[in-house]
Amino acid sequence: MASEISIHHRQIEDLLDKLKAKGLKEYQVAEKINVDPSTLSRIKKGKKKLTRPRRIALENLAFDYGIIPPWIKGKDFDIIASEEDVVKLPMISAEVPAGFPSLEEGTIIGHALTSRMMTGANERCYIVRVRGQSMEGFGIREGDYLIVDPELSYDPGRIVLAYVDDGIVCKKLVKGEDGWFLMPANDDYPPIRVKEDTRILGVVRSIIRRLV
């Protein structure tokens, strides 16, 4: 059974209002996160809690519409040791694997404060959100946030973001006998050969995950 988490129903109501302002009606939200409209209504009123899969689906939907869910703000990126430790990073609305070909072409929907010491982040980095299960074997799960450094050296064995065939993937960069490959950590996904038009967008420095 999927575990349930505690999110105040007014935060969900606030998110639904923001999605409505983007042209998405409540029944459409319910359809996209795979719940009955009546169930979503109960969640909004605080009569039922979100399961983790539905929370991730709702967060994915919010990011698709350029909205940071209110329960994320100030929660996931505030492990700060001192003022000198603070770094402010852009958060990109595009999801991994389907997203933007570069930071400049992406959409910055907000900024997050995080710790240099805890994450290895610097002013060059940006944050993207993971969608999919291809990297679960490396501990990268759907709904995680990746801190990506576009200027870090693309050494073999590092986890990278790459632009491949009009989409973004997060994979491990591996050098084989007959070339370079982007390797998943899930047998359901095939390796991807690095070609001339493959673009490495950055190296993943850290993963941020909310457990509850």
Peptide bond before 97: cis, by omega within 30 degrees of 0?
yes
Quote the tokens at residue 118: 């805890």
Indicate whether 3 belongs to any domain.
no
Indicate whether 51 belongs to any domain.
yes
Say if pTM beats, i.e. exceeds, 0.85. no
Number of domains in the chain: 2
- Looking up residue 27, the CATH number of its domain turns out to be 1.10.260
Indicate whether 2 belongs to any domain.
no
Do 97 and 146 fall within a single domain? yes
Instruction: Give the span between the Cα atoms of 91 and 44, in whole angstroms.
Output: 26
Rounded mean pLDDT for each run of 10 residues along the chain, 212 residues in total: 61 92 93 92 89 85 81 55 75 56 59 82 88 89 90 91 84 92 92 91 88 58
Indicate whether 161 belongs to any domain.
yes
Q: Are 98 and 168 in contact (CB under 8 A)?
A: yes
Q: Which residues are catalytic?
A: 134, 171
Name the residue range of residue 16's domain.
9-64
Indicate whether 116 belongs to any domain.
yes
Do 37 and 109 fall within a single domain? no
Residue 131's pLDDT is 83
| Structural element, H or E, at residue 17 | helix 9-21
Indicate whether 191 belongs to any domain.
yes
Residue 98's pLDDT is 37
Do 111 and 51 fall within a single domain? no
**Cα angle 89, 19, 135; round to 5:** 50
Q: Look-up: residue for tokens 């109960």?
A: 42
207 CA to centre of own chain: 10
Residue 174's pLDDT is 96
